[in-house]
Structure 1
Amino acid sequence: MSPEDAEAELIRYAHRTTVGIRAAPGAADDQLWGSGVLVAPGWVLTCAHLFIPGTGETHGLGPGEEIGVVLSSRREPVRARVAYCPRPPFRADVALVRLSEEIPDQPCAWLGDRSLAYPERAAVLGRLAHPEGGGTGAAAIQLVSVPGGMVGVAQTIGTEVPKLEKGMSGGPVLDRDRGEVVGITKGRYRDRPGGGAVPLTGLRMLTRQDAVFPDPGLGDDPYDELIRRHDRWHWKRQSRPGATWVDYQRHLRHAGPRLWHVQHRLKAMHLLAGLPPAASPAEVERLVYDALGMRDRPEGSLLVHSWRDGLGEIYQENYAEFRGAVHYLKLVAAAVLADDSGHVVARRLASWAREELAMELRAEDRDPSEPGGRVPTSLLVSIEPLYYSADGTGPSDTFNWSIWRGYGDGEWRSVTGDQRAGGVSFEAATRAVLERLGDPLLAADAASGAEGPVRLEVALPPDRLADPVHTWRLPVSRRRGARLRPAAGRRPVVVRDATRADGLDPNLDRRWVKMLNSHRLQPVHVTPQHARLDELESLDGHAVPVLCHAPGARTAEGPLVDWLLDTGFPVAFWRTDGHPEGPCHRGCEIFLADAARAIEQSPADPRALPERLRALRAGGISPHSLGGCGVLLYEDPSNPLPRGFVNPLETA
């Protein structure tokens, strides 16, 4: 089955899980209040505001009061009750509805496990509310693009579509590439296209105190019990005849030739659902950090609750994701067996992870400690922008930061970071990085052995790519109170584009391959006056842009740096103090000449440029020299940035 066919079939399947929410059958009010999604046998996830609309009245929350749920398989609404619904102000706009009867062959949607979801293509599903009533509602599916990420408990579901229709609130938001529900529609904008949505992390905030009536059926921990029922249902459904959600999901684009594939995740979640609950969210968080090899643990930065949530935090490049998942499952099994050595499911999980999955790991990775046989080649600092504020009111000026040890070929191991939903200012992120960077950088140097000091890579938002990160002052030893010296004193230092975290850019790949196959590299002086998109795109594969102007200088078509990044140049030089406008001066001549000498040296290999810049800096610097004020953009597409901590869905 092609990815396109699988996506179309999965959207049809997801539509069968989408329901309408209205008053009970026979009520005078037969208008739809909104939509919902079937997530476990007998359970519907929807928005709390459907039942507390803010008008002073409530729907379905009175003693013994029933509501109606419209299923695609039934002509008439099914009776149900609102089981869990937080009261305003909502921690998260989510509610659970319990059907009053069993529905044979009821389908269930697949709920994603990531706390940070960033679908670029989504399907927004719901049922339309007709002005004349009728109580069932027509199907509604919107295919949208989602530019950005998720923060806190709000997200945007796209503005490149017609207005979302009335009645779609509470319906599922489906990631079309990964094949999983990542949120529910919160509402539509009244004055423009698109709308807002609530990510699935909101479901983790439901507690027993949100019960509408005594003993609704999910015990002391409604989220944990609901997600266990969800995972067990999908596991059992997979063994029965007929196409399943997972059958379509495994053929989607994202599935591809991944080591940690959909069937692995299905079985892992089934086994995790059979374990006793974690003692606390802190225990889940600790095991995630252990599995990822993180030493400096920013406690409370992960919004995890269940064992399943921990597995959802391990999203990296192909092999790194597989390795992290295997180690996490082994650690979870060990934690449960430490309390109950005879627990049957924990033993099964341990056996599967240790005797089957671990067989696919490299020899040096069969223990979750530091990878013994591999040598780190770089340390990455990433300061990633949060595109929208946590309250969803507008653009954000806050950031998350993280530090990673790199082994090449897109393989990264987390060291530390701060991924709080609200983020911090750029200045606070930089201070936090400098407070924590020295020890892991020196440790990576020690692990690299004879290879010498590792390269420092700093991923920044485009408007900060001229920051003089090579002048960061870092300790020269791991001794307390050690002297400080510039980061570039002994090692190559380069910058990278933090917004290129998906690792997919055909322009970048094409130019990199041409550079590697070229017999020469040629410096090209690029100025705002002459920088046009068509001219940049037409530059030969061996061209290396050199800027004496500030990267943020305005061209006729926008900031100069944006055009350089969009046209996929993997390497470029610019100044930390580039002039914003006006003619060039003597300092520009010095800088351009230095850059030309570095670029035109033999061999003609872009991979040699970081070391050449380091050598220039070590040989003495002057204010206008490449070594003194130069910055090297260095994007090797064979070593993409890690995806473990990237921009979440854009906030509403």
Structure 2
Amino acid sequence: MADPQVQLNELAEECLVRLGADLGAAPGSGGSGVWIAPGIVLTCAHVVPAGVGSAIQVAWSGRALTGTVTDQLPGGPSDGGLWPFPDLAVVAVADAPDHPCVRLSEAVPVDRARLVAFGHSATLDEGLRPTAVEGRMSGWHAFGDGRMWQFKENELVEGMSGGPVLDLASGMVCAVTATSLGVGDRGGYLVPVSALRRLGPDRWRAVMNAHDRFHAGHRRWTELQGGHGPFPGVPLRAAEEAELLGFLAELPPPDHAALLRLYTASCEHNRPPAKPLKAYRDVALALMDVTGPDRALPLLRMVHQLAGPRADPGLRDWVTGFAARLGRTRELKDWRSGAARAAVPRGGVVSVQIMPGWAKVDRYQLTVRVRGEPGKTGLLYCDEEPRHTLGEAKKIACEKIREALCWLQGNALVEFIVPFDLFDEPFDELVATKPYTNIGRKYRVVLRDYDRLIDPSVHHDWQRRWKRLRETDSGTRWIICTEDLSAEEFSAELEGRPDVTVIALTRRPSSSGSYGDMLRVALDSGVPVAIWRRDTCPEHDAGDVPEETCSGRRFRTAFGDKLQKTPIRDLPETVRLLRNRAVARDRNPADHDCRGTVLLWDDPEQSAQLLAPVVEPRYDDTRGS
């Protein structure tokens, strides 16, 4: 019996096509392409230069077919000669005969991985004839706004452009040939399969669904993959994966929020997915990358959630068989009987983190998480780098908060994790749900100190004061309008006052330099709770006035009374109710004096899983990683 690798190479060659404007009249012209789904050919944009809507001749297995260019990325050449990245095109062939299709993978081959590039060559002076060239993966090269992979140790020649490149380790096509290195050089450049995502979500999903349906019903490729060798560490066999992706291709297209909910409900770790989620197949493939002894459970949990009463019965059979093979039938039975709930329970925390960039201080990086059950955190949104103005970040945050509140059934504490410089921003006044209220009046909204979260040197004091806050009555230190202790003096005071667990300010921290310094010192000293008014003290801003008559003193009197009567654990709810009373028609003067109250509520026990990286690798979905 022939070696499975040899058979897989032969099957890949069967999927190869030749394209050109007039193949009969010009046997040495044109380029290559490959069947990726029934009637669908993938090639390079420069192989079909006439563009979208143009006709192109397709030669395959001795047949002369006619195709139409449906997609070209981008739509024209650059001035430099090379077609801009990603240099891909899709050709539709009407009434195509039955034909095989390659199996595509977005995974990046390891460095020095063995590759086989298929295409056409006129090297032997017989016009363009099929050829296969074995080489190795050798890094990448930035080109335009993407990355081309480098193929080394053999020669890629004219006519091979658009042909498939097989990764011998996975047994799947990972790229297409784009260009050679030039006369006398050995190698060339490849465009990764992941660059197909630039078709846009709907078109990319349609192409990949057609691809997945084909391989679910035609097992020839996956049977050769199974004989070709195991997938190291991957819990799913090639045939199982193809069958699952076929079922997922039949489901109605989900929106991005639904995909994120499915991912976070299936996977217990807190890392965001490595690639943007555009289809159910993305969620499944992302969950296959989970590590650990129970790495198969997230995928099992995901498919269980999708295999509901309205789903294809085959999907339920698939998850039953997969669970049996893994020895996980007990978990599946528990989920099906309702003993283990996949949904997030009622109530939880929405964490919104806004961080300015280091190089671009006017741009912000936004991360939004939702936490339901203890230890379970779902990622709703995560910027790869600072990219938004503050106004844009707030707008996106509102959308994601609304989504999270639906997930938590409207019962949530919303925390804004921001640096000290953003403490004056009225985050509690954002309107995320109904136009007649804001999140600070409808939900418990608090601030958290980002700067303290990333400074391990203060965590001991922070945890010590939080423990004292929970075990005894709060010790409150008021900072009045005219206070002007230096940072050194206030630090010395707090070192001798371990009982201080709450700092209260009679006006906003930015009212003066020393005022802000005192709050910063308090936070660095581990004080976990701080309260202030977002307003200044207009009386003191206008000149010297008696302390007893200023608006800051009135706030201290009004809020101090509430602070004494409120159990510390109820403080977020007390502030929420106070925000409503401050705008009510029948409000009393004390309630009005407490308008604009800000609460910093910083529980160190909830700090470990909240941080997004300050600098995160930029993801480009054309790089295949």
- Give me the TM-score of the superposition, normalised by structure 2: 0.49
Q: Which has the larger radius of gyration?
A: 2
Relative contact order, CA 8 A, sep 6+: which one is greater? Answer: 1
- Give me the TM-score of the superposition, normalised by structure 1: 0.47
